[in-house]
Structure 1
C-alpha cells in the first residue's frame, strides 16, 4: 500500500480503505474477541471491593485491551497485523524513516452501557513534553516521527477530527467552545466514516474526539508507531509493551520485536553519550549526538526539550525516597504509564544519583526559561485545555545557547 507523506503533513490524517485485507477480517475479529475474553477475566480478578463483578470492563467508558498482556501463539495474528505492510509499512513511509516500530498495540471496545461523548482533545501535554508550536513545527518542517491509527473491525463513525489542526494552536473560538461545549461537535470538525477494516492514520497532535461511547458493538484496533533513523527524535519514543511478551510469540514475530527493542537500546546509548558529554561540558560530542538523534537541522531545540524531560524523570527515579516506593507510586512520581515505566527505570540505572543531579543542573537555564513561559501563558495548570496554551519555545535560546549555559 503506497501513501503520500505530504498528504499527512497537509491534512493531519489519511483515510485508507481495506487496511485489513477483506479475506482476513473475520479471522482477525475472532482473534481479537479471544483477547477481549481473556482480558475480561483479568479485569474481573482485579476488581476493587466496590466494583461490579466485571471490574473495569463494566465501569470504563472505552475499555482498552493491550495486546501484549493477553496475546499468545494462538492469537499471534493480532500482533502480526501490527507488522503488516498496511500498518507498519505505511507508517514507515509516512515518517520517512528507514525503520519503524509499534509503540502501542491496543483494542478499543464499546462499554457495557452508554457513556455518551468524550471531550475534544489533543493527545499531548506541552507542559510535560515541549511547547506546542515547537512540537508542531518540528513535524511540519521535518517529518512526523510518531503516527497513530484507528482501524475498526466493524463499521464506525465515532471518531471525529478537525482537519489541519495539527499545524496550529487552538483558535479563540475553539478554546471558547471547549470551555463551554467540549463534548459537542466543534465548528470545522468532521466525522470519520470508516467501513470495517478501513483505517485512519493521523498525527495525534490534531484536535480529535470520541463522539459517542455507546453500548453498540465497537472493536477498533488502536496502534501507535515511532520512527528510528528518521529526520526527528520522536515525541513518543518509548513502548507500551514489554519484550517479555514475545516469549509467547512465534519465532519470526519474536525476532521482529527483539529487533525493535535493540533499536531502542541503541538510541539509549546515543542519549547516554550525549548526557555524559553534557556532564563533561563537551559541546562537540553533544552536537554530534544531537545530529544523530535529530538529523533534521530545523527545530533541534525541540529534541533538547524532550531530553530535558528525560533528565527530570531520571533524577526523580534516582532519589532514595522515590526509589523505595511501591511500583505504582514510582510510576506516578514521573507521570508515566505502567506499561512504559520499565524503560525509564532501566535508563535511570545508567547514572548515579550524583550524576543525575548534575545533569539536571546543566539543564537548569532551560528549565527556568520554560517555566517563565508556563507562568506567562497558563492560567490553570490543572486544566488539560489550559496546558495547551503553552505554545512558544523559549525566545532567543537555541542549541548553542543551551551549550553555553552549562
Structure 2
C-alpha cells in the first residue's frame, strides 16, 4: 500500500475522537521518503541496542521500569529508550489535541518499540493508575484534565496495541477487574491497526495492553508531549524513565530555524518540572 502524507484533520474532530474513544488514528502522517529515512536510522539504533552498545532499553519480559540493561543481550529487548527528537511530526497534532500553544509544550519521552526475540505480551493496564486502586479513586484519577498526548508512529504495519475504547472515562467493570491480566478476549477490546506512516494518539490511562509477534518486523516510534503545569504524578511518570539524567545536555543546534526555539523551550519546561533530575521519584507501577 503506497502512502502519501495527508493534511491534519480538523482539531475539533481529533479532540472529539480522543475524548470519545480514548484514541485517534491519523493515517499517512509520513510520506514514503521520510519512512525510508526513519527506517534506516531505526534499524541502526535497534542493532546497537540489541548488541549491548546502547544502555537505554526495555528488556524482555519486564513491562515497567526500571529495566535491567545487563539482560539486553541475553533475554533480548522490546524497546529502545531515549530517542528524543522534537522534529518528529507530532507537535502539530499535539497542540490540536490539547488545544494549546507550542509555547506550553513540555519535552517528555521518545522511544521505539521493536519486535522481541520471542512472542511477548504486556498485561492489561493504565499507565499511571495501578491495578489495585478502588473504583472511586480510579474514577477520580480518570477525571483529571488531560495534560499530555501519547502516540505510536509506525514505520512498519503494526497492530500490537490493544485497547478497550471508552475505558479512559470510567472505572473498570467487575469483569475487567477479575479478568486474567493477559486476557486475550477482553470484552469490547480492539486491535488498533496501523499502516506504515500512521500515527495513533491515545490517552495513556485507557485500558490497554501490547501483544508482540516476534516474527513481524516492528519499529514503532513511541513518545509523549505534555503541558507545563502538570502535577507531580505526571512528573514521576516521565522522570522515572531516567530522562532527567541527560535531557539538560541536549543542544538541538542541528534543527532548522524555528524548531530550535521550540525544542529548547520544551527542554526548559521539562527541566523545570520541580523534581531535579528525577532520581528517587519512585515508579508509577511495579512488576
Q: TM-score range by the shorter chain?
A: 0.7 to 0.9
Correspondent of 2:116 among 94, 107, 111: 111
Structure 2: tracts of 5 or more residues without a match:
1-7, 58-69
Tell me the alpha carbon deviations over residues 22-62 of structure 1, each in whole angstroms, 9 at most, x when there is no partner.
33111111122222233334458899xxxxxx941551452
- Contact 1:183 1:211 (8 Å CA) reproduced: no
Higher relative contact order (CA 8 A, sep 6+): 2
1:214-225 aligned within 5 A: 214-225=214-225
- Contact 2:248 2:271 (8 Å CA) reproduced: no
Distance verdict in 2 for CA 1:45–1:145, change over 3 Å: closer
- Contact 2:77 2:116 (8 Å CA) reproduced: yes
Bigger strand fraction: 2
- Contact 1:7 1:14 (8 Å CA) reproduced: yes
Q: Does 1:65 align with 2:116?
A: no
Q: Tell me, in whole angstroms, the C-alpha distance in 1 between the residues paired with 2:168 and 2:87.
A: 27
In the TM superposition, residue 153 of structure 1 has moved relative to its aligned partner by: 0.6
Aligned residues: 252
- Contact 1:13 1:163 (8 Å CA) reproduced: yes
2:20 counterpart SS class: helix
- Contact 1:226 1:234 (8 Å CA) reproduced: no
- Contact 2:154 2:197 (8 Å CA) reproduced: yes
**Match of residue 243 from structure 1:** 247
Q: Tell me, in whole angstroms, the C-alpha distance in 2 between the residues paired with 1:6 and 1:192.
A: 18
Correspondent of 2:139 among 133, 140, 143: 133
Bigger helix fraction: 1
Tell me the alpha carbon deviations over residues 164-209 of structure 1, each in whole angstroms, 9 at most, x when there is no partner.
0000111001112235xx2422111011111011121000000111
TM-score (normalizing by structure 2): 0.74
Largest Rg, 1 or 2: 1
Distance verdict in 2 for CA 1:58–1:159, change over 3 Å: farther
Distance verdict in 2 for CA 1:65–1:43, change over 3 Å: same
- Contact 1:43 1:57 (8 Å CA) reproduced: no
Q: Tell me, in whole angstroms, the C-alpha distance in 1 between the residues paired with 2:225 and 2:116.
A: 26
Distance verdict in 2 for CA 1:245–1:33, change over 3 Å: farther
TM-score (normalizing by structure 1): 0.54
**Match of residue 7 from structure 1:** 17
In the TM superposition, residue 63 of structure 1 has moved relative to its aligned partner by: 2.8
In the TM superposition, residue 210 of structure 1 has moved relative to its aligned partner by: 1.0
Q: Does 1:30 align with 2:49?
A: no
Q: Tell me, in whole angstroms, the C-alpha distance in 1 between the residues paired with 2:55 and 2:173.
A: 45
Correspondent of 1:335 among 279, 282, 285: 282
RMSD value, Cα: 3.4
- Contact 2:124 2:209 (8 Å CA) reproduced: yes
Q: Tell me, in whole angstroms, the C-alpha distance in 1 between the residues paired with 2:26 and 2:111.
A: 19
Distance verdict in 2 for CA 1:96–1:62, change over 3 Å: same
1:316-335 aligned within 5 A: 331=279, 333-335=280-282
